[in-house]
Structure 1
Amino acid sequence: MRARLVGDGVENPANARALLDTAAMFEVPCLFRDTRGLADRWSVERGGRPLPTVGRGEVPAPVVAVENTPGAGSVFTARPPAGRPSIVVGNERRGIRADLLSAAALSVQIPSPGRGVDTLNVASAAAVALYYLLGATGRRTPRSSRSEAHRPAVLLVGPRDHVEAGSALRSAAAFGWQTVGLDDRDKVWFGTPRTMRAEGRAAARSHRNPLRVVPASGDVHSGYERVVVAGAHVPGPPLHRVDLTGGPRTALVIPDGTVPEGVGVEYARVDVPGSDDRYRLVASIVLAEAARQLGIRPTTRPRRFAYESTLTLVPPDSDLVHPHELLAY
């Protein structure tokens, strides 16, 4: 066992199931520190397995916190501590609790320069963290300048689930893409029923996501000088050893299922030990590696507000306004 994945305070059972699938993809155990009632909402019938939990003070050390917190290093360059680390991801809105953050031997963040959306779905974040912390050796050197000029076009081909598609689009926006092509051959995104549309857009964080999603053809040679097909069931060298950049004349194709073929097409394999691979997880890893090769770095985030002094009480002769007096206005 190389590591373990821990979800701290995860609330949504769907995200918990996705985290279990993430752990299965990397063949590591998954535990949940349930501080927000996940167990009460968990259904073995829907989840497919019992919910494995760990007590508040029982997360095994050393702890690696995946959190956008001041001082956190880039997951692209971090080295996990020796031993069998607990790689921890946090609550969907509040992140990792302070007690576990303070106990972490290492804190890492996933560089995400996106506008409007700058975080990944919790399972996608876990997949990216596990990919870089547990492997991906022999990585290509990132570009040092003019990264945006080398950003490839992204084409998502045939996603089979609307929520998986939405989460993949959220990742694309978080890693800085402004436009993504979508070959919607299974009709999960365009012209869908209202409920499906609402769920997919919620997964994509469409209310804050400026990403432009355009219908695209599955013809990988359409208008591109170079095509790279990347995925978990793709033949070819490991993902992090293939040049995924090249500018808008290069298409980075991420299929869900059938692998597009063609003369001159290059392939890049997401090399993971397990066979359970959700589309959002694979797509997020591919997009993260493309962003890493572009030279994306952690953003500078403001530190939490700190008081410089205590409050001073008003002098006794000052006029005070009591709440009940405001009711007269």
Structure 2
Amino acid sequence: MLNPSARLVGDGVENPANAEALAEAARMFAVPCSFRDSRGLAGHLPELSTVDTAALLGGPGPLIAVDNAPGAESVYRAGPLRTAASIVVGNERRGIRPDVLRAAAKTVQIPMPGRGVNTLNVATAAAVALYYLLDAHGRRNARAPRPESHRPALLLAAPRDHVEAGSSLRSAAAFGWQSVAVDDREKVWFGTPRPVRTEARAAARSHRNPLRVVPAGDAWSPPPGGRVVVCGPDVDGPPLHRAELTGPNTVLVIPDGDGWEPGPGTGFARVALPGVAGRYRLLTGIVLAEAARQLGIRTAAVPRPPRRGLSYGSGLDLTVPPDADLVEPWELTRY
């Protein structure tokens, strides 16, 4: 049964695979999903549910825009919805169109502490927003102001699809992880054929992703004295947002399905979903968002006083001839 309290709307989404993943995110939370189709999605997905501009801007209920627009509120502070609303996510590159941002009753963003990748896949962002806007009552307090001393290690356990694994690694980098272990028993990341590897690295945004990915090995075991928390929709444990996910010597394990066997003494945190379990990237995004929320936002550094004495500036400007092409460094590495 669908939840009448919300609907998910994709505004100008252009990738059919992302549209299908958005529909799966909606099914996870038992809400309907529609698209304002300005990019020809219906030509690729005949069963696509669409909404025109008048119906989108005219209700029912307020519009909640998920976008990192100036002045957007953290989704962690937004609180659950009290009335029926349309939760809108935007185009993969351009975001939500200005008419929706102007009409939105509230704009929320997902804080991204990552140093390289600072955005999520659009479907992952939708799943995270739905998790916090529709539920997640009774959350644990954040650990700020020193979050990095409590950041847990992360193990992606037996991902079964290379694109899902790559998108999950993108999320890990965006939420501030610098290293992730992968139990790659399904051979989706290490030693894969070149076309598979290219797709996986593209999903991970490897050209600007500083994340270090290490193989966990078949005989992976937690560090001595370590605490392991397995997170998933089908485990027997407290709700994710009420479980302790951080702390020194803590390892978060996110298995893809039920093929990964935890060891003795393992703790569990349940991703409570009113609908069906969705793609691996959606699950990992929710878990990593909650762990990042519990860590808290790093306190801004106190600005240093200006140095005395001489200061130097550059008087050089970059001049590009009219017939020249600018090339990013990551493009050169492909040749």
Q: Normalising to structure 1: TM-score of the pair?
A: 0.86
**Contact 2:222/2:251 (8 A) holds in 1:** no
1:153-172 to structure 2, matched below 5 A, reads: 153-172=153-172
Unaligned runs of 5+ in 2: 301-321, 324-335
Give the whole-Å Cα distance in 2 for the aligned partners of 1:222 and 1:279.
22
Q: How many residues end up aligned between the 2 structures? A: 294
Residue from 4, 7, 12 that aligns with 2:10: 7
Query: 4+ residue runs of structure 1 moved beyond 6 angstroms?
Result: none
RMSD: 1.8
Percent sequence identity over aligned pairs: 65
What displacement does 1:38 show? 1.7
Question: What letter matches 1:237 in structure 2?
Answer: P
What displacement does 1:19 show? 0.3
SS state at 2:207 partner: coil
Give the whole-Å Cα distance in 2 for the aligned partners of 1:251 and 1:280.
19
What displacement does 1:58 show? 1.4
Match of 1:228 in 2: 229
Could you report, residue by residue, the CA deviation over 1:115-138 in whole angstroms, capped at 9, with x for unpaired residues?
110010000000000000000101
Match of 2:273 in 1: 272
Could you report, residue by residue, the CA deviation over 1:208-251 in whole angstroms, capped at 9, with x for unpaired residues?
1111110013656332511111111221110011110013x211
1:26 aligns with 2:23: no
Match of 1:137 in 2: 137
What displacement does 1:298 show? 11
Give the whole-Å Cα distance in 1 for the aligned partners of 2:198 and 2:228.
32
Residue from 42, 45, 48 that aligns with 1:43: 45
Could you report, residue by residue, the CA deviation over 1:268-310 in whole angstroms, capped at 9, with x for unpaired residues?
00001112321000000000000000003799xxxxxxxxxxx
Match of 2:238 in 1: 237
Match of 1:311 in 2: none
What displacement does 1:260 show? 2.9
Give the whole-Å Cα distance in 2 for the aligned partners of 1:237 and 1:80.
19
Residue from 16, 20, 31 that aligns with 2:19: 16
Unaligned runs of 5+ in 1: 45-49, 300-325
Match of 2:328 in 1: none
SS state at 1:285 partner: helix
Give the whole-Å Cα distance in 2 for the aligned partners of 1:199 and 1:215.
19
Match of 2:283 in 1: 282
1:294 aligns with 2:291: no
Match of 2:247 in 1: 246
What displacement does 1:81 show? 5.2
Could you report, residue by residue, the CA deviation over 1:162-221 in whole angstroms, capped at 9, with x for unpaired residues?
111011000000000000000001001111111111111111111111111100136563
What displacement does 1:36 show? 1.8
Give the whole-Å Cα distance in 2 for the aligned partners of 1:243 and 1:273.
22
Match of 2:262 in 1: 261
Match of 1:64 in 2: 64
Q: Normalising to structure 2: TM-score of the pair?
A: 0.84
**Contact 2:81/2:134 (8 A) holds in 1:** no
Could you report, residue by residue, the CA deviation over 1:79-118 in whole angstroms, capped at 9, with x for unpaired residues?
3554211000000000000000100000000001111100
